[in-house]
Structure 1
C-alpha cells in the first residue's frame, strides 16, 4: 500500500528532558520549550496543525482539537546524545556502549602520529566551540598553515582550516587519515572537516563541512530498503552519518532551505523508497551557539515550507518528522541535551489525530518503516503501522 516514506529529521529539536537526563547533566533541558520561554513566542502553524502541540510534554505550543497528523514522542535507548547514536537508532540500531570522548584533548601519541602522517604541526587540541576556536586560533592558523584540531563533549575529532590556507581536498585528506587512525581503542563516532573562510574578526564556516563516521556495526533500515530494491536518498549529512552504507543516492546541502529544496526535488524524481533528510542548521548554527532567537526563527522558516512537502506527497506516501536529540540553547555549555524527540506522521493512508504516546525507542520509527515498505526488520524497536494505517 505504501510506496514511499519521507523521513525528515529536525536536527536537535528535542521536546523535554528524558528520565535519565541527570546522568548527562541535562535536567531541565527542553529545546523547544525553553526557546519559547527565552524568546517569548513561536509561530509554527503547520507543525501545530499536524499535531506538534498535542504531544505530551510540549507545553509551549497549544494543542488543537483536530490535528491532521498522528503524533507522539520517543525516548532514546542508546547510550549517548549525539548525531550518530540518534540517527542510527532512528534507523534501527541501538548503541549500547558509549563512543569514546576526549574532553581534555587527544593524547600525545595520537597527535604525534597524526602530525607525522599529515606532514605538519597542528594547533588547538582541546574541547571548544567551533566558532570560538577559529576566532582564538584563526590568526595563528593563517600565519603558520597548521590545521586547528578540536573536540567537544561528543565523540568527535574536528579539523578546522581556512579554505585559502588548506585547500578543501587537502582538508578532506587529513580527515581520511584521522578516520583511519581513530579505530579500535581510539574509535570515535565522527571525524569532521570544518572549513571556514573570511578575514580575522569575520571568519565564517562554509557549507563544505564533511563528516567521516564509523560504519554502522549492523544493518539498518537503510540497508534493508536497498536490499528490497528501493532507492534510499540521503539528503544533508545522512550519507556521512551512515558512511554511505545503505544510501543509494546522496545529496549534500548548504543549509536548511537547501535541504528542503533537495527533498522536494527528490520527491519529483523518485516515486518509491526512502527519502531521508537531515536539517542541520538548528543544531549547528543555533543550538551549539546558544542562540535561542536564531533557533526560533529557523524553526519558523522551516515551518513555512511544510505545505510544499505536503503538496508533493502522492497517495501512497508517508511523511515522518522527528529529531535525533536535543540541543537546548538556554542550557549551560554548548553540548547536545538528552531529550525526548517528537514523532509526527501524515499521509493519505494515515489516521489523523491518533496519539502514539511515548515510544520506548527511536528505533520504533525504523520498525514502522520496515512494516510500511515491507522490508526486513532490524530487530529493534516496535513498529506501529497497524495503529496508524487507516483500515
Structure 2
C-alpha cells in the first residue's frame, strides 16, 4: 500500500508547497524506461518529464515534452531531508551530537518540557517523534500571511503531540534538525551541507536558496495544477524540510556517493539505512523501495510547488536514477503506478545496465 505523500500548504503569496513523504508500490514494467517516461505526460498530464540514469560505465538522459533539459536547476523538495540527515550523522561521527540526545538538550525551551526530554534526535530523523506537522498549521494561515517554516513550527509545537516511537511523517522534524545543526556548529544547516557535501562532491547545480525566489540559471519553467507559472516562489516556508535546488546529475552523484560510503563511515551508514525505529518504511532521511524483481533501492522524493522529483539508487550506490516533472499536479493515482513502473524498468533489467551510451 502506498504511503501518503505529506503536503505542505502555505499562502500563495509565499508558496504552495507539498513535500514528498514515502515509498510507493506497483507492478513491474515489461517496457524500458524510455517507454514509461512519456506516460508521465500522456497519463499524468505533466507539461514535461525528464530522467537521468547513471552507472559507473554509462548514463542516459531522456525527456518527454518541451522545455526540459538535463542541465536545468529545479526545486527538489523533501530530498533536502537526505542532505540534512547526512550532516547530522557526520556530526555524530565527530562526537558533537548523539542520536539519543534529547532535543531539549540542544534547543532548550523550544519544545514543551516533556517532549523536549522524551523526543530524541533519532526520533526526529526517523519521523517517530510524534510532533505535529507544521504543514497542517501553514494550511490554515491567512492568505496574506508571510510565515517562515520556523514560525509555523512554533505554532505547530503548541498542539498536542502524538506518541513517541510511532512512524508519522512530519516536516517539523527536519526544521528542528536544521536548528540543532545551527546550534551545535554555529553555522546554518545550509552552510554546513554546502561545506560537507556540496563542495566536496562538486555539486555545481545544487544550492539552498534561503530567501531567493528565483531559480538560478539554467532552468526551465514550473507550473501548478491550474497551469500557472510558479517558477519563482518564496522557499523559506520549506526550510530544512524542503528548500533544496538541484539538478539531475547532482542528485545522482549525491546519492551514489552516500550509498557507496563516501560521505559516512560504515557504522553511520548502517544507521542511516536502519528502518527498525520506524518499523519499516523509513530510515534517516531516506527510505527503501523493494522492486518486483527483489532488488531494494534507496532514495527519497520531493514534492514542492511546481515540481515533483524522485531519486533511487542501489544499496551499493553503483546504479542511480532521478526523474522529475515540472509540475506538482500529477495525480497521486498516476504516480502510484508510473513511479514504480519507471523504477522497475530501470533496475530490473536483465542486463543490469542503463540504456544508451555515456
Is TM more than 0.5 here? no
Q: Which of these two proteins has the greater Rg computed from alpha carbons?
A: 1
TM-score (norm 1): 0.28
User: By percentage of residues, which structure has more strand?
Assistant: 1
TM-score (norm 2): 0.29
